[in-house]
């Protein structure tokens, strides 16, 4: 079959897919790729997707067949699809469904029964339809810790508490598990979206927010009701969460990153839904109210009195019959909470994030325990539609001050990074930038507290760090939102889940070793839609290891489609022409 040279997709032998965004059917192709391919890069002209085992297993879990994927690729490809890619897709997807988790006892239940709402069984059975795969798993020393062979058939028994761990480990062995245990509805609780916000603004649920919520909830049958939604910062992920809550109408536990985010979720729920204040509880270090809708921090859940002791606040997961758990900023899900999600596989669950990048490479754990990606959209697409701000990204390079040169020269690699990051020459650059943006709301963001304190004192701006009391944080954030404070110095505590809609300029003076995840979150602080564009500055010490880490962040921004310019400044804080 001869393909159409005007088609938007170029499928390559390494399983990558190039999408020509200028082709007539580009939007159709983008929507068609979402279920089975991962978006890797989205610069100006050609977007890069990749088909991976995980992306194919996610598609299979949603009911996709290899023939459907082949039909999509044939229809949209500019050139013939490589035969090896076709074969690999079929073989990879065939792995999904060979291993199934069903409730105990070790007798298969009819399909209708596995779909019914039922209490959590005491144990589960792993059913394998291949003697060869059964022998492979039997030979695994890792799996032997969790699986006990049944007396007959190719089956293993496992404790319910090991459910998530087994799914994680089997995925690492290349065998995805089809989890057929039922999803329970939980305790019902009426939640509705208001036609207009209580703050007086109209409530408009955008088309992509509706599509994201629908992609997760589906028809509430097996394979739906759990998963991850990937949307840029500023695109309204909280609204997606509230929309899902309004569709499921059940007791909901929201987990987020810090107390400020807890208060933000509460304010949004009271502003945009018909929930009353008495319906919503906060579970933090300050308050521990469990209500039909409860918002908690990851930090309180992972606290324990001794290093090897139990996690006393895990009881929160069992205090109510939760029907939905929302994992805000799911890419930050702490390892101990991963263990709890293993116990909660029968609860509907929603992960919200701007990026599934994890520097520890554990993206697969999020998919295994929270659920597969159900929806995403490129950053630049939403920018083009006016839903997030247009951003200009600039890296400013400045020389290391002379008095720090010897200290840098004799330091080890890690200390070199800190010396370069805390370069005193950066202060003059910050002061110059603030002068240029005197009418804007500016965030100065950094990693090292001493450096932040010095800059805050020099520009006479308030500072928020991990040690700032929650009440003071809320007060300062409130003043910044109100415009009475125009410049705010923040540590990495402001990387996540903080809504500062009027911030239009971010000045990054130091970061976490070139973390792509951190770059996405910090850029997101200034992407709320506004009349004028946003500016994102990163100050880097010239000819030091900081340049190398900055290159990693620069690559991430370029892959998202942002133009990234590099300029040189002198010690006085002026650009070198």
Residue 289's pLDDT is 92
* 361 and 227 within one domain: yes
Q: pLDDT tens, 246-262?
A: 999 999 999 998 888 89
**80 pLDDT higher than 80:** yes
User: What SS3 state is found at 223?
Assistant: coil
Sorted by sequence, the CB contacts under 8 Å of residue 340 that are 6+ apart come out as: 301, 314, 317
**360 pLDDT higher than 60:** no
Question: Is the Cα torsion angle 428, 429, 435, 441 positive or negative in sign?
Answer: negative
The residue to which tokens 């589906």 are assigned = 218
List, in sequence order, every beta strand (DSSP E) within 298-388.
324-328, 348-353, 373-376
**2 pLDDT higher than 70:** no
* 152 and 21 within one domain: no
Angle between helices 83-94 and 53-61 (to 10 degrees): 60
Q: Is residue 3 part of a domain?
A: no
The answer to whether the CB of 249 falls within 8 A of the CB of 188 is: yes
CA distance 76 to 84: 18
* 298 and 388 within one domain: no
Q: Is residue 344 part of a domain?
A: yes
Residue 559's pLDDT is 64
The answer to whether the CB of 187 falls within 8 A of the CB of 253 is: no
Q: Which two tokens stand for residue 475?
A: 């007060």
* 390 and 353 within one domain: no
Q: Is residue 4 part of a domain?
A: no
**1 pLDDT higher than 60:** no
State what percent of residues in the chain have pLDDT above 90: 40
CA distance 544 to 420: 7
* 258 and 358 within one domain: yes
Sorted by sequence, the CB contacts under 8 Å of residue 226 that are 6+ apart come out as: 183, 216, 348, 349, 350, 370, 371
Q: pLDDT tens, 491-513?
A: 877 655 566 667 888 898 887 65
Burial 85-99 (b: 16+ CB within 10 A, else e): bbebbeebbebbebb
- pLDDT averaged over the chain? 83
* 294 and 169 within one domain: no
**Domain CATH code at residue 490:** 3.40.50.300
* 340 and 276 within one domain: yes
Q: pLDDT tens, 411-442?
A: 998 899 899 999 999 999 999 999 999 888 89
Predicted confidence band at 172 (pLDDT cuts at 50, 70, 90)? Answer: confident
The answer to whether the CB of 76 falls within 8 A of the CB of 32 is: yes
Q: Could you say which of 143, 163, 179 is where a domain stops?
A: 179
User: What SS3 state is found at 374?
Assistant: strand
Question: Which DSSP string do the residues of 10-52 spell out, in sequence order?
Answer: EE-TTSEEEEETTSTTHHHHHHHHTTT-EEEE--SSEEEEE--
Q: Between these two residues, 135 and 58, which has the higher pLDDT value? A: 135
Q: Is residue 195 part of a domain?
A: no
Question: Is the Cα torsion angle 447, 451, 456, 458 positive or negative in sign?
Answer: negative
Q: Could you say which of 351, 377, 403 is where a domain stops?
A: 377
Q: Is residue 134 part of a domain?
A: yes
Q: Lowest-pLDDT range, 230-234, 453-457, 484-488?
A: 230-234
486: phi then psi, degrees, rounded to nearest 5: -95, -25
Q: pLDDT tens, 7-23?
A: 999 999 999 999 998 99
Q: Which two tokens stand for residue 307?
A: 């290093």
* 397 and 358 within one domain: no
Q: Could you say which of 348, 377, 406 is where a domain stops?
A: 377
Predicted confidence band at 151 (pLDDT cuts at 50, 70, 90)? Answer: confident
Q: Is residue 251 part of a domain?
A: yes
* 361 and 426 within one domain: no
The β-bridge relationship of strands 252-256 and 293-297 is: parallel
* 558 and 446 within one domain: yes
The answer to whether the CB of 535 falls within 8 A of the CB of 391 is: yes
Q: Is residue 198 part of a domain?
A: no
The CA-based dihedral angle spanning residues 443, 444, 448, 452, taken in that order and rounded to the nearest 10 degrees: -110
Q: Lowest-pLDDT range, 92-106, 126-140, 195-209, 392-406?
A: 92-106
Q: Between these two residues, 362 and 228, which has the higher pLDDT value? A: 228
Quote the domain boundaries for residue 422: 384-569
- Bridge partners of residue 487, in order along the sequence: 442
- Bridge partners of residue 350, in order along the sequence: 227, 326
Sorted by sequence, the CB contacts under 8 Å of residue 26 that are 6+ apart come out as: 8, 19, 20
- Bridge partners of residue 250, in order along the sequence: 188
Predicted confidence band at 355 (pLDDT cuts at 50, 70, 90)? Answer: confident
The answer to whether the CB of 527 falls within 8 A of the CB of 233 is: yes
337: phi then psi, degrees, rounded to nearest 5: -70, -25
**557 pLDDT higher than 50:** yes
Length of the chain: 577
Q: Per the structure, how many domains does the chain have?
A: 4
Q: Which of 334, 330, 276 is nearest to 496 (CA)?
A: 330
Q: What is the pTM of this model?
A: 0.73
Phi-psi region of 24 (alpha: psi -120 to 50; beta: other; left: phi over 0): alpha
* 491 and 368 within one domain: no
Residue 274's pLDDT is 96
Predicted confidence band at 136 (pLDDT cuts at 50, 70, 90)? Answer: very high
- Give me the mean pLDDT over the 450-467 stretch: 92
* 504 and 454 within one domain: yes
Residue 112's pLDDT is 42
List, in sequence order, every beta strand (DSSP E) within 269-323.
280-283, 293-297
Is the backbone peptide bond immediately before 105 cis, with ω within 30 degrees of 0? Answer: yes
H-helix or E-strand spanning residue 244? helix 237-248
The answer to whether the CB of 77 falls within 8 A of the CB of 113 is: no
- Give me the mean pLDDT over the 468-494 stretch: 86
Residue 106's pLDDT is 40
Q: Is residue 202 part of a domain?
A: no
Q: Between these two residues, 222 and 83, which has the higher pLDDT value? A: 83
**234 pLDDT higher than 60:** yes
């Amino acid at each position: 079959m001869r393909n159409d040279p005007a088609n938007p997709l170029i499928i390559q032998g390494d399983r990558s897919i190039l999408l020509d965004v200028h082709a007539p059917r580009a939007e159709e192709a983008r929507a068609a790729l979402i279920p089975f391919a991962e978006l890797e890069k989205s610069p100006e002209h050609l977007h890069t997707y990749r088909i991976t085992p995980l992306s194919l297993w996610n598609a299979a879990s949603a009911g996709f067949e290899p023939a459907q994927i082949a039909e999509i690729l044939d229809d949209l490809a500019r050139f013939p699809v490589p035969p090896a890619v076709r074969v690999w897709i079929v073989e990879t997807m065939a792995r999904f469904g060979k291993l199934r988790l069903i409730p105990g006892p070790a007798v298969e239940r009819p399909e209708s029964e596995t779909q019914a709402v039922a209490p959590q069984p005491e144990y589960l059975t792993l059913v394998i339809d291949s003697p060869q795969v059964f022998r492979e798993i039997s030979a695994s020393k890792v799996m032997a810790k969790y699986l006990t062979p049944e007396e007959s058939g190719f089956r293993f028994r496992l404790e319910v508490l090991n459910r998530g761990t087994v799914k994680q480990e089997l995925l690492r062995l290349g065998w995805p598990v089809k989890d057929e245990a039922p999803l329970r509805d939980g305790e019902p609780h009426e939640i509705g979206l208001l036609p207009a916000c209580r703050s007086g603004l109209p409530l408009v649920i955008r088309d992509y927010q509706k599509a994201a919520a629908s992609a997760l909830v589906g028809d509430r049958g097996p394979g739906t009701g759990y998963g991850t939604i990937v949307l840029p910062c500023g695109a309204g992920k909280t609204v997606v969460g509230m929309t899902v809550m309004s569709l499921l109408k059940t007791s909901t536990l929201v987990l987020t990153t810090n107390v400020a985010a807890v208060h933000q979720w509460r304010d949004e729920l009271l502003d945009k839904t018909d929930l009353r204040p008495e319906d919503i509880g906060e579970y933090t270090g300050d308050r521990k109210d469990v209500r039909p809708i409860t918002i908690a921090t990851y930090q309180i859940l992972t606290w324990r009195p001794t290093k090897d002791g139990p996690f006393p606040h895990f009881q929160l997961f069992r205090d109510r019959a939760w029907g939905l758990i929302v994992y805000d900023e799911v890419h930050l899900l702490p390892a101990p909470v991963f263990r709890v999600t293993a116990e909660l596989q029968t609860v509907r669950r929603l992960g919200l994030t701007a990026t599934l990048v994890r520097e520890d490479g554990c993206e697969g754990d999020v998919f295994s325990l929270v659920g597969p990606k159900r929806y995403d959209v490129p950053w630049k697409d939403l920018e083009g539609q006016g839903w997030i701000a247009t951003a200009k990204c600039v890296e400013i390079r400045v020389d290391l001050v002379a008095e720090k040169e010897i200290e840098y020269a004799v330091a080890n690699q890690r200390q070199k990074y800190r010396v370069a990051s805390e370069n005193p020459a950066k202060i003059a650059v910050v002061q110059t930038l603030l002068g240029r943006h005197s009418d804007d709301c500016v965030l100065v963001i950094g990693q090292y507290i001493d450096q932040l304190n010095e800059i805050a004192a020099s520009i006479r701006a308030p500072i928020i760090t991990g040690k700032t009391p929650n009440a003071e944080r809320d007060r300062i954030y409130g003043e910044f939102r109100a415009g009475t404070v125009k410049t705010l110095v923040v540590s990495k505590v402001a990387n996540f889940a903080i809504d500062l809609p009027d911030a239009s300029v971010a000045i990054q003076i130091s970061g976490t070793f070139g973390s792509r995840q951190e770059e996405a979150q910090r850029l997101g602080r200034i992407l709320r839609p506004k009349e004028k564009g946003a500016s994102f500055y990163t100050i880097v010490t010239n000819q030091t290891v900081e340049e190398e880490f900055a290159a990693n962040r620069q690559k991430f921004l370029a892959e998202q489609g942002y133009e990234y310019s590099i300029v040189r400044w002198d010690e006085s804080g002026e650009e070198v022409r």
